[in-house]
Amino acid sequence: MKRKLIAAITTATLISITAGCANDPNRPVEERETERNVITGLAAIGGALAANALGVDNNLGKVAVGALAGYTARQVYGDVQAGTASDPNTDVSAVTIGGQEYVQVEVKDVNFRSGSAQLEPYELTRLKPVLDTLQRHPNTRVHIEGHTDSDGSTAYNQQLSENRAKNVAFHLMDNGISRDRIVTYGYGEERPIASNATAEGKRMNRRVTFLISEI
């Protein structure tokens, strides 16, 4: 356990150091994009290490709580809930993982461009409540989880989920959210919330989940 935590902290430190270079506007675009890909990969590793260190390896580790104790967490919950009230396929809930409070935002039935991990313009508007909330509360961090349905191989879906989480992270970064506030994960098809036996279930499983916490 101790070794895992040390590894997670070390990786997170490396991400923070490297992030400053990738966000430098004076550097060539090609170099910045390359480094952003590397940084996101490191963040996924760091996030996975941290999750494993906490013993959180499946959705059973997320325990719903009746109320959020932290002032910022309560404000984040209210902001996101108000912003997503008109979106029937976005759920907002309070969860606790390893003693840390999070506001979980489940954006379901997400449509990516065919054969790619790029979000359609309409889907980007569905992320605006999360983006606006993160901009209003700079003392927060967001964990982004990418999920897929069961179509395709396990390896393909794993990579696809990682790429989709990265692209959502890039969208947040392009709109002013600092890289050191973002961690990405890809879970492929391993955490369905509906049956993959139906088209409707598959649409629900193609989703992005945000976990927002105080730093």
170: confidence class by pLDDT, cuts 50, 70, 90? very high
Residues for the chain: how many in total?
A: 215
DSSP code, position 62 = -
User: Which pLDDT score, from 0 to 100, does residue 67 have?
Assistant: 55
**Predicted pLDDT of residue 38:** 39
pLDDT at residue 6 is higher than 90: no
For CA atoms 33, 38, 39, 45, give the dihedral sign. Answer: positive
Say what the pLDDT of residue 52 is.
41
- What is residue 125's predicted lDDT score, i.e. its pLDDT? 94
Q: How far is CA 147 from CA 4, 42, 95, 112, 155, in A?
A: 25, 19, 19, 12, 13
| 21 pLDDT more than 70 | no
The residue-averaged pLDDT of 3-31 equals 43
Closest CA to 210 of 64, 58, 95: 95
The C-alpha atoms of residue 161 and residue 173 are separated, in whole angstroms, by: 18
Residue 17 burial (CB count, 10 A) = 11
Place of tokens 């325990």: 63
